[in-house]
Structure 1
Amino acid sequence: MQAARFMVEGHSGGMDATFVQMGVIAAAYLVAVAATPIASWIVGQGRSVGRDEGLDGMRGAAAVAVVGCHLNQYMCAFLGYTNPFIGDHLGILAVQLFFALTGYLFTDRAIIGRIDPFAFYVNRMRRILPLYVFVVITALAIALSYSWKTVAPLDHTLREALSVLAFGLWKSDELWFRGINMLSLVGIAWTLSYE
């Protein structure tokens, strides 16, 4: 029933919206598969002994589905589709799967005494921070390219840039850089780096 209602609500036809959503999600997976070797090389991580690669792979697939869900929402809004039904449901399922698998893996490691809290947090920072900084710098570059005609004092621009960089550490309801609302750029960027 919900799917039938979605088909009626689509901008120029339900089938168009369905194909757009399936294409966005498929593109997210293709990019993830292509970027995996590069990301492993940047982070310097090879195969770890004792890791359950199947479950880690399922967590990775769920994380990509969440990113695909967010990209799908932006794409549907951009194209004028009123209900990103497929992507939203895939995202909800992926979040539940990701956290269930993560909880299982960490509990299993904690029970057998294989979690070193210091190493755990260092590894998380090594994985998340480089990508986060990269996407924030990319978002700032995009904003600068759109606002290059805007005249603003350098100290004000630097304060706004630092605010954008710190957004992932403490979130705020408003985030501006040179007159551009950065939540639309950094919101998805933080999701990408976090996932």
Structure 2
Amino acid sequence: MIYIRDEEFIRGNCPMTKEEIRILSISKMKLDSGYNVLDIGAGTGSISIQAAKICNKGHVTAIEKNDEAIDIINKNKEKFSVNNLKILKGEAVELLNSINETYDAIFIGGSGGNLEKIIESCYAKLKNGGNIVLNFITISNVYKSMETLKRLGLNAQCTQISISKTRNKTYMLMANNPIFIVSAEKV
């Protein structure tokens, strides 16, 4: 499996799930070529694009509310020749109520402050045996997500990842924000 590097994505000023976090999050979704995937808070579309490349016989739906981000996702969709990606513009809670599909894997990268409602709606759309993966930078969102998943009967796990990379041609390491990856499988 080939992963897309950060510098290959068109970025703009939109948030992007960084390469190492993206690879780990995708691996926790346990994607297969025929999977249908939902990406909420898609930002630049890095998760959506990578998932669409892996799930080339399935499809990916990206939800994003920011106009600039939607423009960037469309540019990345074109750049990477992804034809199995549908982009929906709007608030996740409202859009989730109008979606009648079910998904093999769901990624939540942004919640706009509606985390519990989004998780509850996603749970109803996640197939049995499907995986939900969430990324956070705040401990409060980790707690909210794990408590909500627990209330829904899922056994959630949390992994905290810290990435540092050398800067330019020096050996000085520059740290990115630690990221919490919460994952659970619906049984």
TM-score w.r.t. the length of structure 1 is 0.23
TM-score w.r.t. the length of structure 2 is 0.24
Structure possessing the higher relative contact order (Cα contacts under 8 Å, 6 or more residues apart): 1
Larger Rg: 1
Higher fraction of strand: 2
Higher fraction of helix: 1
